Amino acid sequence: MSTPDFVPFSELDTLFIARELQNLRGRRVEALVRLTDTELVLLLEGGSAVLISTHPQRYRVHQITQVQGLGSPIAAGESHLKGLRLHRIAVPRGERMLLLEFVGTSRLGEPISRVLAVELMGKHSQVVLLGPDRRILWTLKTVTPQQSRVRSLQAGGTYQPPPAKPWSLTDPQRNPEALRHHAPRVFPVPSGEDPVAFLGTYLQAALRAPQPGLYRWQGRWMVLPHPVPGVSLHQATPSHSAAWELLIHQVQAPGAPGEPSRVVQRLRQELTRLAQYERWNQVAEAILLRRSELLQTGTLRIALPDGTEETVTLEPGETPEGLAARYREQAARWRRGYEKVRQRLQVLASSTTPPSPEPRTSEAPASSSPRYHVYRSPSGFPVYVGKNARGNEEITFHRASPDDYFFHARGVPGAHVILKTGKQRPSEADLVFAARLALQHSRAAADGKGEVAYTQVKYLRKPRGAAPGLVILTRERVLQVRL
How many Å separate Cα 439 from the centre of its chain? 15
Asked if pLDDT for residue 216 goes beyond 80, the answer is: yes
Strand partners, 188: none
What average pLDDT score do residues 155-179 get?
93
What was the pLDDT predicted at 268?
76
Asked if pLDDT for residue 270 goes beyond 90, the answer is: no
Provide the residue type at 426 as one letter. Answer: P
Q: Which of 7-11, 138-142, 290-294, 303-307 has the lowest mean pLDDT?
A: 303-307
The sign one gets for the Cα dihedral 396, 400, 401, 402 is negative
What was the pLDDT predicted at 346?
59
pLDDT band at 378 (very low <50, low <70, confident <90, very high): confident
What average pLDDT score do residues 125-150 get?
91
pLDDT band at 244 (very low <50, low <70, confident <90, very high): very high
Phi, psi of 304 (to 5 degrees): -100, 160
pLDDT tens for 307-360 read 778 899 998 889 999 999 999 999 888 888 887 777 666 555 543 333 333 343
pLDDT tens for 8-19 read 999 999 999 999
Buried b (16+ CB within 10 A) or exposed e, 48-61: bbbbbbbeebbbbb
What average pLDDT score do residues 158-177 get?
94
Domain 1-207: top CATH class: mainly beta
Asked if pLDDT for residue 258 goes beyond 60, the answer is: no
Mean pLDDT taken over the chain: 84
What was the pLDDT predicted at 348?
55
| 74 close to 473: Cβ distance less than 8 angstroms | no
Asked if pLDDT for residue 68 goes beyond 60, the answer is: no
> Is the whole model's pTM more than 0.85, yes or no?
no
pLDDT band at 240 (very low <50, low <70, confident <90, very high): very high
What average pLDDT score do residues 413-417 get?
89
How many Å separate Cα 174 from the centre of its chain? 35
Asked if pLDDT for residue 217 goes beyond 90, the answer is: yes
Q: Minimal CA–CA distance to 473: which of 30, 73, 41, 43? A: 73
For residues 261 and 329, the model is more confident at 329
Buried b (16+ CB within 10 A) or exposed e, 434-450: bbbbbbbbbbbbbbbeb
Asked if pLDDT for residue 467 goes beyond 50, the answer is: yes
| 415 close to 396: Cβ distance less than 8 angstroms | no
What residue ranges do the domains of the chain occupy?
1-207, 268-349, 372-482
For residues 89 and 33, the model is more confident at 89
Q: Which residues are CB-neighbours of 90 under 8 A, at least 6 positions away?
A: 18, 98, 99, 101
pLDDT tens for 39-58 read 888 988 877 889 999 999 89
| 460 close to 417: Cβ distance less than 8 angstroms | no
Q: Which of 17-26, 38-47, 118-127 has the lowest mean pLDDT?
A: 38-47
Asked if pLDDT for residue 2 goes beyond 80, the answer is: no
pLDDT band at 173 (very low <50, low <70, confident <90, very high): very high
Asked if pLDDT for residue 75 goes beyond 70, the answer is: no
| 382 close to 376: Cβ distance less than 8 angstroms | yes
**For a pLDDT cut of 70, what percent of the chain falls above it?**
86
Q: Which of 100-114, 182-196, 342-356, 395-409 has the lowest mean pLDDT?
A: 342-356
What average pLDDT score do residues 105-111 get?
89
| 245 close to 65: Cβ distance less than 8 angstroms | yes
What was the pLDDT predicted at 78?
53
What was the pLDDT predicted at 204?
95
Count, residues in the chain: 483
Asked if pLDDT for residue 166 goes beyond 90, the answer is: yes
